[in-house]
Each structure stands twice: as C-alpha cells, then as structure tokens.
C-alpha cells in the first residue's frame, strides 16, 4: 500500500505523461482528466502493487488503457461517436492537419503509436498496457504506422503517394 507521500510523489512524476497518453488516444481533454483521475484512484485503492517505480508507472498506464477501452466500448454501444474539435489558436495549419489526421486513426492505433514513440514503451510494456499479446504488438504497430503514413501522404503532409 502506498503512503500518502509516496502516492503524491508518484502522481507528480507520472500524471502528466499519463494524461498526454490518454489525451492523444482519446482526443478529448475532459475524458483525459477523468481517466487520469480514475486511474490514480484505482492505483491508490489497490492492495497488491508492484514494488518498483517503473512497475507502478506501467501499472497506472495499464489502468488508464483499460479505462479508455471501457469508454470506447460504452460509446460504441451507445452509437455516439463524436470527434471533438482540435482547434488551437497557437497551432499552425499544418499542425492542425497532422492533429486531425492522427485523430482519424482508430483509438487503439493512436494508443499504440503514442505508447511506442512518445512514451518509448517496449513491446512488452505496450502489450501489458493494452492487454494484447506481446507478439501482436509488432504487427499492430506496423499497421498503425502504415495507416498514419498513408493518411499523411493522402493529405499532402508528407511526400509520396499513398500505397
């Protein structure tokens, strides 16, 4: 069980990274706020925790991934799929185009790319966070990269023709 001080330190070190992961995966700041809060609450309520800092970090990412999956399933069931505006006053048109293109990926594709290339997670860490087979991560990640590349090419944001 975490002490209040240890929990506070863990939160301050990792909450921003978890929030960024959730936000980039969901493209919704309110959902990111809710999921991060719930993920850390569930971590705090857990009786059996990893002993090391990295284990705790991976565990909170896995909780956040599970919470996102729950929300995606719920929204699918409710037939409500809205993509919130990604407009920002300080963003260039090209940045907004890339952000919109990233938002067109499936939620799992966004999560895979974010965990691999922003968080620098290993295939084992990604598999654990997304609750998929470790061997599946390489294939799923490759497909997500190809899909993002093709979308970017189709919009003229990178050179080349879509395949």
* CATH architecture assignment, domain 90-163: Orthogonal Bundle (1.10)
Q: 139 versus 74: which is more confidently predicted?
A: 139
Report residue 54 as tokens. Answer: 């990295």
- DSSP characters for 60-107? HHHHHHHHHHHHHHHHHHTT---------TTS-HHHHHHHHHHHTS-H
Q: How far apart, in whole angstroms, are the C-alpha atoms of residue 152 and residue 3? A: 46
In tens, the pLDDT along 77-132 reads: 665 444 455 445 555 565 567 778 888 888 888 888 888 888 888 999 888 888 88
pTM of the model: 0.58
Report residue 125 as tokens. Answer: 């860490």
In tens, the pLDDT along 15-55 reads: 999 999 999 888 889 999 999 999 999 998 887 777 788 88
Domain locations in the chain as residue ranges: 1-84, 90-163
Summarize the chain as % helix, strand, coil (round to 5): 70, 0, 30
* CATH architecture assignment, domain 1-84: Orthogonal Bundle (1.10)
Among 19, 13, 54, residue whose Cα is nearest residue 33:
19
Q: What is the pLDDT of residue 104?
A: 85
């Amino acid at each position: 069980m975490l002490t209040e001080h240890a929990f506070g330190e863990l939160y301050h070190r990792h909450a921003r990274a978890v929030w960024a992961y959730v936000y980039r995966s969901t493209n919704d700041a309110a959902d990111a706020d809710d999921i991060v809060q719930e993920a850390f609450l569930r971590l705090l309520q857990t009786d059996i925790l990893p002993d090391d800092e990295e284990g705790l970090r991976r565990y909170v990412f896995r909780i956040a991934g599970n919470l996102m999956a729950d929300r995606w399933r719920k929204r699918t069931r409710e037939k409500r799929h809205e993509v919130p505006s990604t407009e920002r006053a300080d963003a260039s048109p090209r940045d907004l185009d890339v952000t919109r293109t990233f938002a067109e990926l499936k939620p799992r594709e966004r999560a895979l790319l974010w965990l691999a290339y922003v968080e620098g997670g290993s295939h084992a860490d990604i598999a654990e966070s997304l609750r998929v087979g470790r061997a599946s991560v390489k294939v799923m990640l490759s497909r997500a990269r190809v899909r993002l590349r093709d979308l970017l090419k189709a919009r003229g944001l990178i050179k080349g023709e879509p395949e």
